[in-house]
Structure 1
């Protein structure tokens, strides 16, 4: 971590800080305490990291069990992280390379990726609401109350919530059936 802007603790001209420059006046006991505390903090962070990595792997396996390919999962994560312009530019470059290699993707009519999105506002609001509902976000539409976009956003949100609820019911019945089968096998 660097020093804050405007810090008065600037190195004097010609002096370059070296490793350990700020611990020269510490006793061995102070250095030992710093090391032990730092190692303990690192161990805690590493344990937390291992738990988080295990959770990530579990969630990925769950998505795969739902029928999604690892490519689809990674692609969705990349899209959610990147800006729209960046994703569009990437697709445009991929299409150019495919055309250069005479790949079927490059020979299909190109999408006009540089045009303005003409999706009707109500349709875009519906899809945005559906995404928010699927993410488990609260039903707070970004559109003004009473507008058509607000109604469509809320409808999309409710549709996604209903899909999630019905999906969980299906999953529960499968798990219940599996547990019943296990009980029969034991008996």
Structure 2
């Protein structure tokens, strides 16, 4: 089923083609696109600079592997990404074996059934949610031990985040906060460390 065409003068008018444009019309159209393109390029450069600056902060806070860890977390957030990471690890282990690098042995690096106790998995997932600043999204029934462990993990993650996860604002941000405070803003004076 397609959309119904509207009746009226707009649909009856022939569509303007590039060949049908006068030189002045074409220039006007090029100028419109040029202006928007210039704004987008400026925004792209500003965004690239912001990403680069944030990368420097990440490196200072998390070390040389911090960005790789962040990218792996983003990649692993989906089922396909998790499978890609697992395949990459298995490939790296195979290459290390070929290079005669001693790596130890594990019969099944990623078993199909997770033998970690449910309460431990629930606690770890709750803690991850708490550290990430997510709301407590507890999938376990409220009468189970897993529910209690999930909530305990989330609380521990929140406690760790609250006591160790805050840092002072950058000087430029601090000026914004002071200006907002003068206007009566409720913006906090500290932000979560990235």
- Partners of 2:26 and 2:147 in 1: CA distance: 60
TM-score, normalised relative to structure 1: 0.66
- Matched-pair contact (CA < 8 Å) for 1:79–1:87: no
Among 40, 43, 64, which residue is 1:48 paired with?
43
Structure 1 residues 93-151: Cα deviation after superposition (integer angstroms, max 9, x where no partner): 1111110011233xx21351242222222222222222222222222323333433332
SS class of match (1:140): coil
Tell me how far apart the structure 2 counterparts of residues 96 and 40 of structure 1 sit (CA, whole Å): 53
Q: List alignment gaps of at least 5 residues for structure 2.
A: 4-16, 172-194
TM-score of the pair, normalised by structure 2: 0.64
Gapped runs of 5+ residues in structure 1?
Answer: 1-5, 8-21, 176-187
Mapped to 2, the partners of 1:36 and 1:146 lie a distance apart of 66
Q: 1:77 aligns with which of 50, 54, 71?
A: 71
Other-structure match for 2:91? 93
Per-residue deviation, 1:159 = 1.7
Aligned to 2:25: 30
Distance 1:135 1:60 in 2: 19
Q: Tell me how many residue pairs correspond in the alignment.
A: 150
Aligned 8 A contact 2:59 2:66 in 1: no
